[in-house]
Amino acid sequence: MAHAVSGTGRAGRLGSLLWRRPGLSLAGLVLPPVAWMGLIYIAALAVLFIAAFWSVDDFTGEIVRNWTFANFQEVATSPIYQKIALRTVAMAALVTLTDAILAFPMAYFMARIAGPRLRLALITAVVLPLWSSYLARVYAWRLILAHDGVLNWALRGLGLPGAEIGYTNTAMWIVFSYIWLPFMIMPVYAALERIPANYFEASQDLGGRGMRTFLKVVLPLSMPGLVAGSIFTFSLTLGDYITPVLVGGPGSDFIGNVVYANVGVANNIPFAAAYATVPLVLMAVYLWLARRVGAFDVM
Amino acid sequence: MKTYGMRAAMVAALSLSMALPAVAAPVKPNYPKAIGKGEGELNIVAWEGYAQDDWIKPFEKESGCHVNRKYAGSSDEMVALMRSGGGGQYDLVSASGDATLRLIYGGDVQPLDVKLIPAWKDFLPNLQSPPYNTLKGLHYGLSYEWGPNVLMWNADKIKEAPTSWSAIYDKTYAGKITVPDNPIQIADAALYLMKTKPALGITNPYELTQKQLDAAVVLLKEQRPLIKKYWALASDEIELFKNGDAVIGAAWPYQTNALKADKVNVMDTVPSEGATGWADSWMLSAKSKHVMCAYKFLNYVSSPKVQAQQAIYFGETPANPKACSEMDKIEAGSCEKYHLNAPASYYKQIHFWQTPLPTCTNGKRDCTSYGDWQKAWQRVKG
């Protein structure tokens, strides 16, 4: 004890060295995460990018390490891969929009109207599904939407015609919107909660009615929260490949499915790598735009 | 000295990785002298329904080899799994004829010494050294079971039994059809075209010229709007039939058996056009760490009893004709049902899965490769 306090122990000496050289302690703190990022993340991406220039032997399926642009050429020119990329992006955008519309009133109620007890109960209810397995929730939807599923059973009970939405893109849209909704509610809630109450009073004092206050005060101030939430919903949908397999029908493949099929099934890793750069570029652009809107301030 | 050694090691490692064989070749034999004590563990890649507790548990007890099972949904996945992590993660694979040559020429599997597997001598003559698992007299695979891809339907919804594959290509059952999500499905379309459009000149559904492949793609694209779902796993198709989403589709007999066991009234048939099918072989990884357990397993699954159990569970035909009486013991009349009493003529009806190769059997290089098929399949699925 005495040694450590007087600074003569080994730990003490290290401590005083770091005190004398603040740069050193900063480097010590930052180096491990940077090394981790560099080695695990950046290096993996670099390897991925390099692999995209290789090709695969037609017969044995072995990787041929000759430089070629053929994979990128195919990604860029083949109509089917354009269609799949477009479908993925459109679905991600649609899901983001749906979740924003669904999440806003919910988050507003939680942040500004509900009392503390109800608020806690609601937050718990929003987050609770995330504690169960993603797969279990998607499978549950598959059973709900199936031909003889819960939905049609209820509809027929009410004397209505059954809805044939199982294994379609509509089913995918519903499931994605459901699964990623909490990721939109939470950041919007955080943004709304931060708006000082007196801004509302000020708006009213200046003659702003409900709609005007909403458009001029609430919406602009919650925009970073919406954008932060959209980063989650957009990127999570963009990268998903399990929901299309489980609840999608014919013509539901995503970028992720093509990548998966080429890695796990066709063993064409170079082509998969080339195609995987598409969402990477899309996400980079999206994040850059989100940063300009100030979305990272509320995350 | 130390740093020099380090650097030398690094350079050596680097040049070694650069010199990795760009062209793989079939592996040379490295037979064990005899089957000795097991290593206690065995990792296998198998089709769903190929490693049931009914026969795996007794094997584990008898041999002391604990069996770790990994199920694969397609031949492509099997090849990918046998290569994962540089190979050697799995010891045995139940590869079909469209994967075996890829594994052999990819250097992923090693020859087996059939002298150590006495039951091999009893196998059907055309399954002892078939061209898809035996190369220059070396047995890279041990034949296991074989059977057709069938047309399956829900007999409660479809009263009149279909007899042609046209049932899954015309509009009668639009939106209620399911077929496998697998590039080899192109061969099913080619087989149908072989009978319905002889002008295309298809003689072997696995050897298609670009023109013939395009015709198959056109047929499959017309079929797409009729499809409820392309199934990836056998369990997917079972669920589709159970929940009423599909009433007819291409299936394995395994699904028929599983659905019947679940009290779903399904039936299956080999339609008049014939059928594609599989002939499976067990193959040993070139980098297997559990060779003794693997040989024990190969002997075990070649025995008449296990061959019979497997055949009846999956709905297929064993390679070992001695399984006939065992089959009838489990289910009376099953030996005849699966044609083990007259296998030769039945064998001819089935067009067994092969790897599509750019070089046709006539030596011309105008056939389409499996890579072409995979891309075509993506175009079909959309």
Residues A97, A173: one domain? yes
Residues B265, B311: one domain? no
Residue A27: per-residue pLDDT: 84
Is the Cβ pair A267, B369 closer than 8 Å?
no
**ipTM for the predicted complex:** 0.78
Rounded to whole angstroms, how far apart are CA atoms A91 and A102?
Answer: 16
CB B231 within 8 A of CB A250: no
**Section A177-200 average pLDDT:** 94
Residues B268, B322: one domain? no
- Rg, Å, chain A Cα set: 25
Taking CA atoms, what residue in B is nearest to A66?
A: B22
- Tell me the per-residue pLDDT of B113-138, one tens digit each, with 9 for 90 and over: 999 999 999 999 989 999 889 999 99
Residues B177, B307: one domain? no
**Section A15-39 average pLDDT:** 82
**Section B85-101 average pLDDT:** 91
Residues A88, A155: one domain? yes
User: Residue A59 falls within a domain, yes or no?
Assistant: no
Evaluate if residue A23 carries a pLDDT over 90.
Answer: no
Residues A26, A128: one domain? no
Residue A299: per-residue pLDDT: 54
Rounded to whole angstroms, how far apart are CA atoms B322 and B342?
Answer: 13
Residues B271, B163: one domain? yes
Question: Which is more confidently placed, B368 or A60?
Answer: B368
User: Residue B100 falls within a domain, yes or no?
Assistant: yes
User: Residue B304 falls within a domain, yes or no?
Assistant: yes
Rounded to whole angstroms, how far apart are CA atoms A126 and A120?
Answer: 10
Evaluate if residue B6 carries a pLDDT over 50.
Answer: no
Phi then psi for residue A47, to 5 deg, are -60, -40
Amino acid at B201: G
Evaluate if residue A296 carries a pLDDT over 80.
Answer: no
Is the Cβ pair B232, A258 closer than 8 Å?
no
User: Residue A291 falls within a domain, yes or no?
Assistant: yes
Residues A9, A150: one domain? no
Q: Out of A282-291, B26-35, B107-116, pick the least confident.
A: A282-291
- The average confidence (pLDDT) of chain A is 88
Evaluate if residue B70 carries a pLDDT over 80.
Answer: yes
Residues A132, A263: one domain? yes
Q: Does B84 touch chain A (CB under 8 A)?
A: no
Residues A33, A111: one domain? no
Residues B249, B376: one domain? yes
- Roughly what angle, to the nearest 10 degrees, separates helices A116-127 and A169-194? 150
Question: Which is more confidently placed, B370 or A180?
Answer: A180
User: Residue A111 falls within a domain, yes or no?
Assistant: yes
Kindly report the nearest CA distance between residue B45 and chain A, in angstroms: 14
Rounded to whole angstroms, how far apart are CA atoms B338 and B272?
Answer: 17
Residue B12: per-residue pLDDT: 44
Evaluate if residue B4 carries a pLDDT over 50.
Answer: no
- The average confidence (pLDDT) of chain B is 90
A248 interaction partners in chain B (CB closer than 8 Å): 229
Residue A95: per-residue pLDDT: 98
Evaluate if residue A264 carries a pLDDT over 70.
Answer: no
User: Residue A71 falls within a domain, yes or no?
Assistant: no
| Residues of the domain holding A235 | 78-297
User: Residue B194 falls within a domain, yes or no?
Assistant: yes
CB contact residues (below 8 A), chain B span 170-229, against chain A: 175, 183, 224-225, 227-229
**Section A164-173 average pLDDT:** 92
B21 band by pLDDT with thresholds 50, 70 and 90: very low
User: Residue B12 falls within a domain, yes or no?
Assistant: no
Residues A43, A156: one domain? no
Is the Cβ pair A250, B102 closer than 8 Å?
no
Residues B189, B315: one domain? no
| Residues of the domain holding B311 | 25-147+278-352
Evaluate if residue B17 carries a pLDDT over 50.
Answer: no
Q: Which of B76, B106, B371 sits opposite A265 (nearest CB)?
A: B76
**Section A287-293 average pLDDT:** 83
* DSSP string of B114-179, one letter each residue: GGG-GGGGGS-HHHHS-TTTEETTEESEEEEEEEE-EEEEETTT--SPP-SGGGGTSGGGTTSEEE
Q: Which of A65, A164, A250 sits opposite B227 (nearest CB)?
A: A250
Domain count, chain A: 2
Rounded to whole angstroms, how far apart are CA atoms B28 and B20?
Answer: 18
Q: Show contacts of B168-171: CB within 8 Å, 24+ apart.
A: B168/B223, B168/B226, B168/B248, B168/B249, B168/B250, B169/B219, B169/B222, B169/B223, B169/B226, B171/B226
Backbone torsion region of residue B295, taken as left when φ is above 0, otherwise alpha when ψ lies between -120 and 50, otherwise beta: alpha
Task: Output the domain CATH number for residue B204.
Answer: 3.40.190.10
Residues B73, B76, B78, B84, CA torsion sign = negative
Residues A155, A24: one domain? no
User: Residue B1 falls within a domain, yes or no?
Assistant: no
Most confident of A54-58, B8-12, B50-54: B50-54
3-state secondary structure at position B228: strand
Residue A60: per-residue pLDDT: 66
Residues A124, A241: one domain? yes
Domain count, chain B: 2
User: Residue A58 falls within a domain, yes or no?
Assistant: no
Residues A41, A96: one domain? no
Task: Output the domain CATH number for residue A182.
Answer: 1.10.3720.10
User: Residue A68 falls within a domain, yes or no?
Assistant: no
Residue A295: per-residue pLDDT: 65
User: Residue A214 falls within a domain, yes or no?
Assistant: yes
* DSSP string of chain A, one letter each residue: -HHHHHT-SHHHHHHHHHHH-HHHHHHHHHHHHHHHIIIIIIHHHHHHHHHTT-EE-TTT-PEE----SHHHHHHHH-HHHHHHHHHHHHHHHHHHHHHHHHHHHHHHIIIIIS-HHHHHHHHHHHHGGGGS-HHHHHHHHHHHHSTTSHHHHHHHHTTPPPP--TTSHHHHHHHHHHHHHHHHHHHHHHHHHHS-HHHHHHHHHTT--HHHHIIIIIHHHHHHHHHHHHHHHHHHHHH--HHHHHH--TT---HHHHHHIIIIIS--HHHHHHHHHHHHHHHHHHHHHHHHHTGGG--
- Tell me the per-residue pLDDT of A80-137, one tens digit each, with 9 for 90 and over: 999 999 999 999 999 999 999 999 999 999 999 999 999 999 999 999 999 999 999 9
User: Residue B253 falls within a domain, yes or no?
Assistant: yes
Angle (nearest 5°) at CA A103 between A98 and A105: 120
User: Residue B17 falls within a domain, yes or no?
Assistant: no
Tokens found for residue A86: 């477009």
A·B CB contacts under 8 A: 92
Phi then psi for residue B365, to 5 deg, are -100, 45
Residues B260, B377: one domain? yes
Is the Cβ pair B228, A62 closer than 8 Å?
no
Residue B360: per-residue pLDDT: 84
Residue A158: per-residue pLDDT: 92
**Section B313-341 average pLDDT:** 92
Residues A283, A146: one domain? yes
Residues A127, A9: one domain? no
Residues B44, B169: one domain? no
Evaluate if residue B64 carries a pLDDT over 50.
Answer: yes
Angle (nearest 5°) at CA B211 between A86 and B276: 90
Q: Which of A65, A84, A147 sits opposite B245 (nearest CB)?
A: A147
Question: How does DSSP classify residue B198?
Answer: G
A1 band by pLDDT with thresholds 50, 70 and 90: very low
